[in-house]
């Protein structure tokens, strides 16, 4: 519980000291204070800079000792040589949670770096304070508009908790403002995956946890706590640094020992952690698990305006070892009544010929989707359609979001092609009801992994 209390100071600070914050602001200044103000953080901020009296209208202090109030979190952003002394000052001022932004500690190849690392390790070991980093963006929490990142980031109040060893996840990706809450471990000299997981285990605002792991000191503790969480929340993991060369690069990136590939695979499996194969899958699954319900059945229904993409969806199922099965008699009968006489409808339902022989043209598409969503034998539905233009895209987004809201027991994903696909997929992301993908293979992969985890949760 002690660790959990400290983690709350890191993740939900009510007051923060910014040590070494610069008087320079604006583009290219990477000013943490400026970022915090722009997010609208409501906690107390104490900039520490002995050379000026205020920055951006906020009163500055010459040192943390000068601040007469409790400080939950200190963020140290100075050249590396100053860091040990500042950490000591924080500990002396009873600050228990410290983020060290600077690089050049265990990630450095010189002796000074190793020596500096040792000095801060000693303070942490003595129990005077807990340290996040060095070489880190720190933490982010969209729910309180807080981040210690010196790069200004986009956050979104979404139930995705990230523990990573690179600031990339704070900066995010086009498809997803990744961070609901984030912890960049950097070199992970003290705070590591275990403490992060313990925080997210107990955090009601987090529904899925995504991990980016280069390496760690204590895999046993990680396995134990993961095993405790995965029956309650899905945990996704991208393990990088799988080759000797990557391990070497990782040594100079975060000073991590990366470990053997097979050992990691076995450990993830044992703990119920969902291991992904690459960055794209991590993004896809974080989006999927944060939005969709678990699957009550393994069967997937597919309806598509493109027969050709429907076939790719079947190919993907075959490769993933899941099935697009025969539809239940009731659903089959319903679809048969909608089809032209020459067409035998099956799953995937090729809806385009039905649309071409119907007025209004959209009716078979909507009715077909309704039929699949109402089928109790199906756990999930994939819709494949096109955003021919902006209006079509927005229309699809509204239609699918409404259908998903009316069928909350079903996981609805879609594959969108056409010139407005990206925009439409983003709109769906914002609407938080359906998950969109640009290809049928990625949509099916997401459902396959959702199904795997759903089976794990149901004890099968």
Q: Which of residues 318-337 bind a second copy (CB under 8 A)?
A: 318, 324
Q: Which is nearer to a second copy, 380 or 386 (CB)?
A: 386
Residues 6+ apart with CB under 8 A from 343: 350, 353, 354
> Binding to a second copy by residue 421, rule CB under 8 A?
yes
- C-beta of 128 vs 136, nearer to a second copy: 136
Q: Which of 157, 388, 405, 458 binds a second copy (CB under 8 A)?
A: 388
What is the DSSP secondary structure assignment for residue 325, as one 8-state letter? P
Q: What CA–CA distance (Å, rounded) separates 45 from 32?
A: 11
CA distance 411 to 452: 14
C-alpha pair distances (Å), 449 with each of 117, 159, 305, 443: 40, 18, 25, 10
Task: Give the nearer residue to a second copy in terms of CB position, either 130 or 212.
Answer: 212
Residues 165, 186 contacting (CB under 8 angstroms): yes
Min separation Cβ 168 and a second copy, Å: 5
Size of the site for a second copy (CB under 8 A): 79
Decide whether 108 or 229 has the Cβ nearer to a second copy. 108
- Distance CA(238)–CA(395), nearest Å, equals 35
312 binds a second copy (CB under 8 A): yes
Nearer to a second copy, 250 or 275 (CB): 250
180 binds a second copy (CB under 8 A): no
Judged by beta carbon, residue 311 or residue 431, the one nearer a second copy is 311
The pattern of x and - marking residues 186 through 205 that bind a second copy according to CB under 8 A reads: --------------------
**Binding of a second copy by 439 (CB under 8 A):** yes
Piece of 16-24, 288-296, 349-357, 397-405 that binds a second copy (CB under 8 A):
349-357
Q: Please list every residue from 219 through 248 that binds a second copy, using CB under 8 A.
A: 240-243, 245-246, 248
332-337 long-range Cβ contacts below 8 angstroms, 24+ apart? 334/367, 334/371, 335/368, 335/371
* 165 vs 275 by CB, closer to a second copy: 165
Decide: is 166 part of the binding site for a second copy (CB under 8 A). Answer: yes
The tokens for 126 are 């003595």
Considering only residues 141 to 160 of the shown chain, the ones binding a second copy according to CB under 8 A are 151-152, 154
- Is residue 59 within a helix (H) or strand (E), and if so which, with residue range? strand 58-59
Beta sheet of 97-100, edge-to-edge order: 44-48, 15-19, 73-76, 97-100, 130-132
Count of positions (residues) in the chain: 460
From the centroid of its chain, how far is CA 127?
31
Q: How near is the Cβ of 172 to a second copy at its closest, in Å?
A: 6
Site for a second copy in 390-419 (CB under 8 A): 391, 417-419
Output 128 or 165, the one with its CB closest to a second copy.
165
Q: Measured between alpha carbons, how far is 428 from 175 in angstroms, rounded to an integer?
A: 10
Q: Does 83 sit near a second copy (CB under 8 A)?
A: no
Structure tokens at 11: 């993740």
Cα-Cα-Cα-Cα dihedral sign, residues 366, 370, 371, 377: positive
DSSP label at residue 109 = S
Cα-Cα-Cα-Cα dihedral sign, residues 209, 213, 216, 220:
positive
Choose between 92 and 278: whose C-beta lies nearer to a second copy.
278
Per CB under 8 A, does 427 bind a second copy? no
* Interaction between residue 252 and a second copy (CB under 8 A): yes
Residues 280-309 that bind a second copy (CB under 8 A): 280, 306-309
Q: For a second copy, which residue of 37, 82, 311, 320 counts as binding (CB under 8 A)?
A: 311
Whether 301 contacts 381, CB under 8 Å: yes
Q: Please identify, among the stretches 43-51, 136-144, 384-392, 394-402, the one whose residues bind a second copy according to the rule CB under 8 A.
A: 384-392
Q: CB-side exposure of 349: number of CA atoms within 13 Å? A: 31
Judged by CB, which is closer to a second copy: 108, or 235? 108
């Amino acid at each position: 519980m002690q660790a959990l209390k400290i983690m709350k100071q890191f993740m939900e600070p009510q007051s923060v000291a910014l040590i070494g914050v610069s008087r320079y602001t604006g583009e290219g200044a990477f000013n943490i204070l400026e970022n915090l103000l722009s997010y609208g953080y409501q906690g107390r901020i104490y900039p520490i800079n002995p050379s000026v009296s205020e920055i951006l209208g906020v009163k500055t202090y010459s040192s943390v000792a000068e601040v007469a109030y409790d400080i939950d979190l200190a963020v140290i952003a100075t050249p590396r040589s100053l860091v040990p002394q500042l950490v000591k000052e924080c500990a002396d001022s009873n600050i228990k949670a410290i983020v060290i932004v600077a690089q050049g500690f265990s990630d450095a190849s010189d002796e000074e770096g190793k020596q500096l690392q040792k000095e801060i390790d000693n303070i942490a070991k003595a129990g005077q304070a807990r340290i996040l980093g060095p070489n880190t963006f720190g933490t982010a929490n969209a729910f309180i508009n807080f981040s210690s990142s010196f790069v200004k980031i986009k956050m979104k109040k979404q139930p995705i908790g990230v523990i990573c060893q690179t600031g990339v996840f704070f900066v995010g990706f086009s498809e997803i403002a990744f961070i609901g809450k984030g912890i960049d471990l950097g070199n992970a000299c003290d705070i590591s995956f275990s403490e992060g997981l313990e925080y997210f285990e107990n955090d009601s605002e987090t529904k899925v946890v995504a991990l980016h792991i280069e390496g760690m000191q204590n895999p046993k503790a990680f396995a134990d706590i993961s095993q405790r969480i995965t029956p309650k929340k899905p945990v996704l993991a991208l393990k990088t640094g799988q080759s000797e060369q990557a391990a070497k690069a990782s040594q100079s990136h975060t000073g991590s020992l990366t470990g053997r590939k097979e050992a990691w695979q076995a450990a993830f499996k044992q703990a119920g952690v969902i291991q992904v194969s690459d960055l794209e899958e991590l993004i896809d699954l974080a989006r999927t698990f944060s939005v969709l319900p678990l699957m009550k059945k393994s069967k997937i229904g597919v309806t598509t305006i493109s027969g050709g993409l429907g076939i790719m969806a079947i190919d993907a199922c075959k490769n993933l070892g899941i099935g697009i099965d025969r539809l239940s008699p009731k659903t089959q009968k319903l679809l048969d009544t909608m089809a032209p006489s020459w067409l035998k409808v099956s799953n995937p339902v090729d809806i385009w010929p039905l649309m071409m022989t119907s007025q209004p043209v959209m009716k078979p598409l909507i009715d077909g989707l309704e039929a699949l969503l109402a089928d109790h034998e199906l756990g999930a539905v994939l819709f494949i359609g096109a955003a021919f233009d902006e209006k079509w895209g927005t229309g699809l987004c509204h239609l699918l979001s409404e259908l998903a809201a009316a069928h909350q027991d079903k996981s609805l994903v879609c594959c969108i092609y056409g010139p407005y696909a990206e925009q439409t997929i983003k709109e769906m992301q914002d609407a938080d009801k359906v998950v969109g993908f640009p290809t049928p293979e990625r949509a099916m992969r997401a459902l396959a992994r959702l199904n795997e985890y759903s089976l794990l949760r149901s004890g099968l």
